[in-house]
Amino acid sequence: MIASLRPGLVPMGKRIQQARRGAHLTQSQVGRALGVSKQQVSHWETGRSDLTREHLLHLAKLFKVEMDWLARGTLIEAPGAAPAAHLAPVDGLTALGQKAPTPLSPATALIERVANPHPDTHYLARFTVPEFTSLCPVTGQPDFAHLVIDYAPDRWLVESKSLKLYLASFRNHGAFHEDCTVAIGKRLAALLEPHYLRIGGYWYPRGGMPIDVFWHTGTRPETLWLPDQGVPPYRGRG
């Protein structure tokens, strides 16, 4: 069966091909180094297959290029460098403005970031996800949650369409409430390196008992307005 073209992956595939040729490696050599077939490497390069973050990291090391360039087409400046305010905020994005399929799993989802136009200002950005869905890892039954994600950006903002696709990929992913909530927070914190980030996972009852999960990282700036997340404790008819 011939894998179908996935337009959202094409720009990244072209960068993988460019980096491989720059490293003077064949698809077969890359496949042996990563423990995959030559055909799999070809599918990555032509945008016909997702790849995991681990594979992306191994490719970057093999080609001796920045992982961020390979994934997004942008480079990370050395520590201490001036903020890249001159960069086009949509440079290298693969989801925004294109037809992008829902990733098969959170592990294969690519969350993208753009330059913060106000890196010298402390402010809060909030994402509310009222219909988040995942699967119970034991029974396979759907679980539902109301997520609230707050972060005070430093140099980077999360690109919202890629975030939506990442969150949608949990619909076929089995994990406990705590794992889903904390994993999302950690993934965003690692990507964005914000001043402060918090996530509240307000899960709907299963077996008559709701579970709320909270996680935060970083130091809240003193001048930051941090409003309540606005989700009351679940009381049913009590």
Phi, psi of 112 (to 5 degrees): -110, 160
**Bridge partner residues of 9 (DSSP):** none
How far is CA 98 from each of CA 132, 156, 192, rounded to the nearest angstrom? 23, 21, 23
Specify whether 136 is catalytic.
Answer: yes
The widest CA-to-CA distance across the chain, in whole angstroms, is 68
Interatomic CA distance for residues 125 and 197, integer angstroms: 10
Question: Given 50, 143, 150, 180, which residue is catalytic?
Answer: 143
Name the residue among 52, 53, 46 with its Cα closest to residue 10: 46
Question: Given 136, 154, 179, 212, which residue is catalytic?
Answer: 136
Interatomic CA distance for residues 97 and 90, integer angstroms: 10
Overall residue count recorded for the chain in this entry: 238
Name the residue among 128, 88, 211, 173 with its Cα closest to residue 75: 88
Specify whether 143 is catalytic.
Answer: yes
Q: Which residues are catalytic?
A: 136, 143
